[in-house]
Structure formats: C-alpha cells, structure tokens
C-alpha cells in the first residue's frame, strides 16, 4: 500500500507524521471519505469542495489548489492500482508545539490513504438494519458546527459506543432539545405519508454528499421531499427509514429501539433510491485509468 503524505509516497509501515502534529495532539484538522466505483471517483469535486469549505471554517489553509488535490487523489489511486476503493483524505494543522496556538503550525499536513472498505454486511442491505437511539447528544452547532467535517470525532465515537453496547451497528444522535440530528456516521431519512423527510443540517447534522445525492434523486423521481425537524415519535411512526453515507451508501433500517419500522422490511421508496443510486455511481464523478 502506498500512502501519500505531503507530495511523497510511503509504504504503510513507513507512513508517519510528527507526534507534534496538531491533528494528533488536538484533532485539529479536516477530512473526507470518498468512494470509487470501477475507476470512477464518485462526486469527487463535491467532496473536495466540502473539504476546503471545512478548512475555511476552521481557518486552516490547505497548501495546494483544489485541482492539485484532485490530481493527488487520482495519483494515489493509480499508485495502489485500485478500481473500487475507499479514499481517506486528511488535512491537519501541521507540526507545532504542545500549546494550542495554531500560529505555531507553519504548514498543513496532507495525507491520502486509499484502501478497501466494507461498512456493513451485504445481508443488512437486503434485510435492513437494527439501530438504537444514542444517550450521547449531538454537539451544539453553536459550539461546533456539524457541517464541519473535522478530525475531532469524539462526539460521534461516544455515540458509536452506545450502539456497540446495545448490540447494534448504528445509533441516532439527538440534539440537546430532543430533535433528530443524524447517526454516528450517516445521515437519516424517513418516508412518512409518501413524503421523503430528513433533518436540516443547521441543527447539527453533516451536509452529506450521499445525502445530497439522494435529494437530487428524489427530485428526478418526482418524490415529495422536505427538510423537517423530526422527533423520535416521527421516526418510530415512519413507513420507511434509511441511512445515507459515503461508506454506507443507502441502507434500510427496519427496527429502532426494538420498535419495528413499517412492515419490518426495506420499503419500496428505499429500494428504488438504492437502485437509482447504483446507476448514479457509474456516471457522477471523475474517471481515471491505469
């Protein structure tokens, strides 16, 4: 495996950063998870735009242009001869000292890792996922905007631990005032009375790339769609529930907190969107060749 660090490739065993890098010391940085499908990097431009938007939000200057970043991603995929891959693109504040002051970090560190990923077993896409509501609440957006995809994922990790302790794979995170925000690594959608609904991003949810793709698909399919503040009662009463994310893609949910959703099987709207999303992954992105 060849890993890109600041313009050079290193073997996995020799890929290292300084212990004084503020990405390690303080989680000071941003990242993206990106998928490739048969040599097509799905929505690469949108991912790169979000990366730079997140960096701007924390006043982190990325030491290369967006075009150079895209070229570096493609170069890393080619170096590893991967057609179907998961890309982890990381930009840290860089090497500083033991203090918080970001001015001590003279240059950001850029890391690109390409590998395989399987988030959920295939059977979950066929039969649906069982999830729970996390006891851990989502960060207040006034404290840390959920639209920033930062390296500080402790809030999500604590909620993931809630899921693990319950024996499930995922957990819904609520806001401090009991509204549905998102899951630990995915956005959430429900189908209610033929309407497709998802929480607005300004309450603490990530503005997901796959989330946006599903919204686009809903428009193409003339599905009524709305962003709406949701309580858990709305989710429990939904006819269908599904999650979206780069690694997860679109995955049905059939039980939440031991309550069956709909008829306990993946619904027709979810299955249609899954089908259309697969088509989208063949055309919507940047293609590369070895």
Q: In the chain, where are the structural domains located?
A: 2-115, 122-280
CATH of segment(s) 122-280: 3.20.10.10
Report, as residue numbers or ranges, the catalytic residues.
149
Confidence class of residue 290 from pLDDT cuts 50, 70 and 90? confident
User: Residues 227-280: pLDDT tens digits?
Assistant: 999 999 999 999 999 999 999 999 999 999 999 999 999 999 999 999 999 999
The pLDDT of residue 118: 80
Q: Are strands 249-256 and 129-133 parallel, antiparallel or unpaired?
A: parallel
The residue-averaged pLDDT of 149-173 equals 97
Q: CA distances (Å), 21 to each of 108, 113, 124, in order?
A: 9, 18, 38
| Stretch 211-239: mean pLDDT | 97
Of 127, 131, 90, nearest to 108 by C-alpha is: 90
Average pLDDT taken over every residue of the chain: 96
Q: Give alpha helix (H) positions in the chain.
A: 22-26, 44-57, 66-79, 122-127, 154-166, 209-220, 232-236, 268-280
Give this prediction's pTM: 0.94
pLDDT in tens, 172-184: 999 999 999 999 9
Per-residue pLDDT, averaged over 136-140, amounts to 96
Tens-place pLDDT, residues 105-133:
999 999 999 998 887 889 999 999 999 99
* Residue 103: strand, helix, or coil: helix
Please give the CATH architecture assigned to the domain spanning 2-115: 2-Layer Sandwich (3.30)
Percent of the chain whose pLDDT exceeds 90: 96
Q: In what order do the strands lie in the sheet with 285-287?
A: 8-11, 2-5, 109-115, 85-92, 29-36, 40-42, 285-287
């Amino acid at each position: 495996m060849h890993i890109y660090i600041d313009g050079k490739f290193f073997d996995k065993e020799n890929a290292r950063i300084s212990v004084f890098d503020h990405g390690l010391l303080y989680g000071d940085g941003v990242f993206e998870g990106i998928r490739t499908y048969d040599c097509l990097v799905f929505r690469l431009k949108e991912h790169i735009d979000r990366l730079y938007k997140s960096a701007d939000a924390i006043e982190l200057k990325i030491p290369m242009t967006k075009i150079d970043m895209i070229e570096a991603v493609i170069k890393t995929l080619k170096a590893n001869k991967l057609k179907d891959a998961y890309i982890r693109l990381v930009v840290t504040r860089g090497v500083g000292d033991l203090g918080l002051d970001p001015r001590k970090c003279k240059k950001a560190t850029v890391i690109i890792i390409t590998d395989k990923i399987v988030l959920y077993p295939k059977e979950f896409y066929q039969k649906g996922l069982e999830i729970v509501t996390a006891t851990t609440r989502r960060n207040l957006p006034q404290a840390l905007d959920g639209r920033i995809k930062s390296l500080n994922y402790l809030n999500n990790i604590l909620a993931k631990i809630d899921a693990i302790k319950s024996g499930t794979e995922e957990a819904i995170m609520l806001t401090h005032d009991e509204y549905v925000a998102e899951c630990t690594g995915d956005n959430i959608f429900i189908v209610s009375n033929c309407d497709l609904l998802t929480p607005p991003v300004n309450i603490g949810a990530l503005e997901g790339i796959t989330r946006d793709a599903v919204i686009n698909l809903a428009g193409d399919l003339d599905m009524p769609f709305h962003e709406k503040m949701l309580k858990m009662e709305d989710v429990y009463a939904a006819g269908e529930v599904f999650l979206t994310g780069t690694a997860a893609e679109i995955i049905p949910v059939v039980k939440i907190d031991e309550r069956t959703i709909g008829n306990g099987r993946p619904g027709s709207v979810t299955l249609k969107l899954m089908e259309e999303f697969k088509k989208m992954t063949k055309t919507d992105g940047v293609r590369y060749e070895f």
